[in-house]
């Protein structure tokens, strides 16, 4: 059982809902990465999703795209991210999950990437452009290293595909809440509640909703039908605005939802 599995177990035992914030490594400089991670841990985040900046992020909306551009302009690389996390990993206990695309991994070398992730204590990977049909590219290496692949299901996923995907691994299932890219939204499709309930009924893994969640009201709404939420664009935006109080409010909202 790695850090991620333990954290998910603790959430369940505590009758809480999980909150996973996303941050872009290198946005604001790699020198702020440690302080942001420590802040999110202190606020009670369940795990932290760390984006690796990439020039062609097909799943990312404008806010995260711009964060990636800022990070790349600042000279952020996969190697520098790994070195930075390695320098402070022993000071934080929270599970860390890399969110990246396959191109940076293949450019780095998949064996070297997984070995370095294991060495610095990365607990999971979210790979939006890796379908389950092509997982043999990296999944066996990650499994040996004890690193969970976090898989995504969409509004268009069939029951059979949800069953297949959710029966892999021991992390959580990422339920995408919109047909489109990341980014804060005013509201969600009326059928979303049914979709989340369907995924929850089919999945043996905890189900976390992500994409577009940006307010305490969204969190309260989504967590009626799933085990937790992933908040990306809003967290990136609030760090850019230096509004840590609102970040803390979002995390505490999830933790205060009774199960």
Q: How does pLDDT run across 121-179, given as a tens digit for each residue?
A: 999 999 999 999 999 999 999 999 999 999 999 999 999 999 999 999 999 999 998 76
The DSSP bridge pattern shows strands 124-126 and 148-150 to be parallel
Separation CA 185–CA 244 (nearest Å): 20
User: Is residue 60 annotated as part of the catalytic site, yes or no?
Assistant: yes
pLDDT at 185 over 60: no
Sign of CA dihedral 149, 5, 235, 215: positive
pLDDT at 190 over 80: no
- Measured CA to CA in angstroms, residue 201 lies from 8, 126, 226 at distances of 18, 22, 10
Separation CA 212–CA 230 (nearest Å): 9
CB atoms within 10 A of CB 39: 16
> Domains in the chain, start-ordered, CATH in brackets?
3-151+227-252 (3.20.20.70)
The active-site residue, picked from 5, 27, 41, 49, is 49
Q: How confident is the model at residue 259 (pLDDT cuts 50, 70, 90)?
A: low
Per-residue model confidence (pLDDT) at position 188: 58
Q: How confident is the model at residue 78 (pLDDT cuts 50, 70, 90)?
A: very high
Sign of CA dihedral 145, 39, 188, 221: positive
Closest CA to 217 of 249, 194, 191, 189: 249
Which has more confidence, 59 or 236? 236
The active-site residue, picked from 60, 116, 148, 221, is 60
* The token pair that represents 34 in the structure block: 């440690």
Q: The sheet that has 207-210: what strands, in order across it? A: 148-150, 124-126, 96-99, 48-51, 18-24, 228-231, 207-210, 173-176, 152-153
pLDDT at 183 over 70: no
User: Is residue 49 annotated as part of the catalytic site, yes or no?
Assistant: yes
Q: Look up the pTM and report it.
A: 0.94
DSSP 144-170: HHT-EEEPEE-TT--HHHHHHHHTS-S
């Amino acid at each position: 059982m790695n850090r991620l599995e333990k954290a998910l177990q603790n959430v369940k035992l505590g009758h809480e809902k999980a909150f996973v914030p996303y941050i872009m490594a290198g946005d604001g400089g790699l020198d702020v990465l440690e302080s942001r991670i420590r802040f999110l841990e202190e606020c009670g985040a369940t795990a932290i999703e760390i984006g690796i900046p990439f020039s062609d992020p097909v799943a990312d909306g404008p806010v995260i795209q711009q964060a990636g551009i800022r990070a790349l302009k600042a000279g952020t690389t996969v190697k520098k991210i790994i070195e930075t996390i390695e320098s402070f990993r022993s000071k934080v206990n929270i599970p860390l999950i890399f969110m990246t695309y396959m191109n940076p991994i293949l450019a780095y070398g998949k064996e070297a990437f997984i070995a370095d992730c294991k060495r610095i204590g990365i607990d999971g990977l979210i790979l939006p452009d890796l379908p389950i049909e092509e997982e043999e590219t990296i999944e066996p290496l990650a499994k040996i290293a004890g690193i969970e692949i976090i898989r995504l299901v969409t509004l268009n996923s069939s029951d059979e595909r949800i069953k297949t995907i959710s029966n892999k691994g021991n992390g959580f299932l990422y339920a995408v809440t919109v047909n489109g890219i990341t980014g804060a939204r005013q509201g969600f499709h009326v059928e979303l509640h049914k979709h989340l309930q369907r995924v929850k009924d089919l999945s043996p893994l905890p189900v976390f909703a992500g994409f577009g969640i940006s307010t305490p009201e969204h969190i309260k709404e989504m967590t009626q039908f799933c085990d937790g939420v992933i908040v990306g664009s809003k967290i990136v935006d609030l760090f850019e605005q230096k509004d840590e109080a609102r970040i803390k409010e979002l995390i505490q909202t999830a933790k205060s939802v009774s199960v």
